Amino acid sequence: MSDSAVVESKHAAPLAECASCNHMLPPGLGEIKCEICGAICRVSHQPTVDALISEKIPCPHCNMIVVAGTDERPVGLTCSECSGVFTLAAKVVKVEIECPACERKLRIRPRPGTRQLDCPACSSAFNVTF
Ligand SMILES: [Zn+2]
Ligand SMILES: [Zn+2]
Ligand SMILES: [Zn+2]
């Protein structure tokens, strides 16, 4: 990886829930497989798709505005001004949760299922389920 630039997309679909077990689905659009029960769920969110296709990203090489033109992420784009290439990556979805002991807010990347978190402020451990 020499001079390949990566820009994070500004848009992501809202987190969806599995229709059969109500756990969180992995982020994304289209046919998403539930990691908990294995059900295939169709996730669609037209406003996000529209926003992704028309997303304007400043070229990391010359700052010229480049339009994504697709809802695929990651996607390789080429700047028409400087011919520089870069990757437009999927937005990293984070959720805010509150420590039940000290109410400190933690920002985490949600993953389906239950896992244990340790609060950095009061070191108490608690479980979160998505
Ligand atoms: Zn499920
Ligand atoms: Zn450029
Ligand atoms: Zn805490």
Q: 12 and 67 share a domain? A: yes
Q: What was the pLDDT predicted at 34?
A: 96
Whether the Cβ atoms of residue 95 and residue 14 lie closer than 8 Å to each other: no
What's the pLDDT at 25? 94
pTM over 0.85: no
CA 127 to ligand 1 center in whole angstroms: 19
Say whether both 58 and 37 belong to one domain: yes
| CA 70 vs CA 13, 63, 66, 73, 77: distances in Å | 14, 20, 12, 8, 10
23 Cα: distance to centroid of ligand 3 (angstroms): 25
Question: Mean pLDDT for each consecutive 10-residue tract of the chain (130 residues)?
Answer: 80 93 92 96 95 97 97 95 96 93 94 94 95
Distance 98 CA to ligand 1 centre (A): 25
Domain that holds residue 115: 95-129
Task: Say what the pLDDT of residue 2 is.
Answer: 46
Q: Are residues 57 and 106 in the same domain?
A: no
> How much distance in Å is there from the Cα of 113 to the middle of ligand 3?
21
Q: How many domains in the chain?
A: 2
Same-domain check for residues 22 and 50: yes
User: Are residues 68 and 26 part of one domain?
Assistant: yes
pLDDT of amino acid 3: 58
Residues 57 and 113 in one domain: no
Ligand 1 being an ion, which residues bring their Cβ within 5 A of it? 18, 20-21, 34, 36-37, 39
Q: Ligand 3 centroid to 24 CA: how many Å? A: 24
Same domain, 80 and 107: no
Contact 99, 121 (CB under 8 A): yes
**Residue 58 shares a structural domain with residue 33:** yes
Same domain, 36 and 71: yes
Q: Which pLDDT score, from 0 to 100, does residue 1 have?
A: 42
CA atoms of 83 and 60, how far apart (whole Å): 11
- Claim to verify: residue 59 and residue 24 sit in the same structural domain: yes
> Is the domain of 75 the same as that of 125?
no
Indicate if 78 and 106 belong to the same structural domain: no
Residue 114 CA to ligand 3 centre (angstroms): 18
Which ligand does the CA of 118 lie closest to? Answer: 3
